[in-house]
Structure 1
Amino acid sequence: MAVASPADRRRRPIRTLTQALSALLTAVLLAAGPATPAHAAPKPTIKQLKKELAALRKQSDKLITEYYNGRIAHQKAEKAERAAKEKLAAAQEIYARESVELRRIAIAQYTNGGPQSAATMLSGAGDPSALMGNLALSNHLIDRQNARLSGFAQVRDARKQAEQEAAARAEELGTQVADLGKRKDKAEDLIRKIKDKIDKLYKAPGVRRSDGTWVPQLPGGSDNITPRMRLVKTLVKERFDVPNGIGCYRAIQDGGEHPLGRACDFMLSRGGSMPTAAEVARGNEIAAWAIKNSKRLGIMYIIYRQRIWHARTGAWRTMSDRGGTTANHYDHPHISVY
């Protein structure tokens, strides 16, 4: 039997300690069980997002209705306030004129010895019966003046009150409109975010090359457009609501993508007329959306307002004048896909 050397005896406790630690670690791992990876929250489905979007749209429509109703009420209050100011100014002008006339009569009575002298001065007659008649006339005029002044004083006070109430109402409505405007903007911002989420759940069908371009697709279906173009068309239609029509395939061979089923025009107006400012803004939004999603959806270029944006350069450049509103794409953005 071999006898362990002193060196071996010195190394043995170390090996024993190592083995003990290894065994302890193994036991701990076995007791803990296999490691379980953390589960990420499942992504919402298109159906869930669209349901949330519909609820938000309903909320936004309600807020927008309240917002515009508030604006109309605010405008009516401002109109009432202006009318009250105009009537108040007219009443004050009449009041001032009648006050001057009454003061003139009062001064005449005082400086000429009372109502009889004032009436005589007014009539120019010295006959007693005439004086009595003129006195009655003077008193009648004074009573009428007093009544008119009293009436105009009431009108003035009523208009002043109406003016104050209109101003208070206008201020109140202004606060409400501002609050509704903020809530409307918040709802529309949430709608945009949900639309962005929905967009990201879609990817262009087909094969993408390493250089960023896509393998061309053949058109199909009753609309004679490619699957890639059909997806872009559907997403734009759902997101922006194009009321004046979308034109895609056309048989005329003009060197573009329309005959190939790889282009669509999203019309902002009809009959070649210039679109309104609101529709121009809609066209800008469609173009910006197409640029933002160009890589994922296989968008090759966009033409809008006599400019072209190409995926190769990532920038807009001006195009030559083609001689018309439609030809220069002022009434529609054009989107072509690979």
Structure 2
Amino acid sequence: MTTPLRRLLTPALALVAGVAMVVAPAEGATAAPDAPAAEEDAPPALLRDVLEVAGRDYLQAKAKVDQSKKRQGELNGELRKVQARLDELAPQVGQIAAQSYRTGRLSVAAVLLSSSSSDSFIERVARLDQMNMVNNGKLTELDEAKEQVARAQAALDAELREQQKQLAIMAKRKGEADKALDLVGGNRLIGNGFVSATSPVAKAAPRTANGEWPNESCSKDDPTTSGCITPRTLNAYTEVKKAGFNRFVGCYRPGGPFEHPKGRACDWSLLNRGFASAKTQDQKLYGNNLAAFLIRNADRLGILYVIWYKQIWWPGSGWKSYSGASDHTDHVHMSML
């Protein structure tokens, strides 16, 4: 690796080295029969490491941005309501102030001196007390409305600052991934992204309360082997099947540092059994439609990247050409967060 490139990718690789660990295969677990070789089923080591770290950071930052936008909408709605109340109270308080300026505020002493009888005295005291209560109430409402506006505006400003911070993280991680993708022939593709608006909408995988993707272990039985997959991978597997993609698929595979032994990847074949490169229009269309479904629902399912037919898709960069160890013309590869 050249010195400039090493300097460029060192932060991502150092982070990988600090957190990566080899997940041991479940005892007695076996890979899907006729599965493609492990080394052909993932990007080269350098790209894989960058996508693993930059991809997770990018998607977590994106989740925070999405949550921030939602919160901003709520705060803007609250701000509009409080501002409307403030606009309603301001003229009323202005009238009270103008009246006090013209006539002066009535005092109890003035009432006593101007009362000609005990009945009128009691009546005027009651009226004065009521007037002062109304005026004080309006002033209090106005003060409270002003404080609510200030609090809502401060919260909105904080959300905007947080959003800008997360957008900066996304931009940085996107840059790292783009440079890594360039190493595997990652020229950006225009108009060839396989995303279809007619793809079914998948059931979203669970997130944390603040919208982030939780870390998950290989804790669910893999329907395709005797191994294990994560709950998020199982949800994606189930949703792909529900969408009508019922040809051969293999998920768990022991050994190696890729997503398969972590239960975070599946290979969707074009055949009913085994793997072979697309030879018919039907097989190519099946792969195109499957890739389109995954990409359309990537944010709902927690997709890390997809590889299909000499192309790789990553959330921050979209589709790019791919010339890794395998051209992936025989299956759609899906890697999960």
TM-score by length of 1: 0.43
Q: Which has the higher contact order (CA 8 A, sep 6+)?
A: 2
Larger Rg: 1
TM-score by length of 2: 0.43
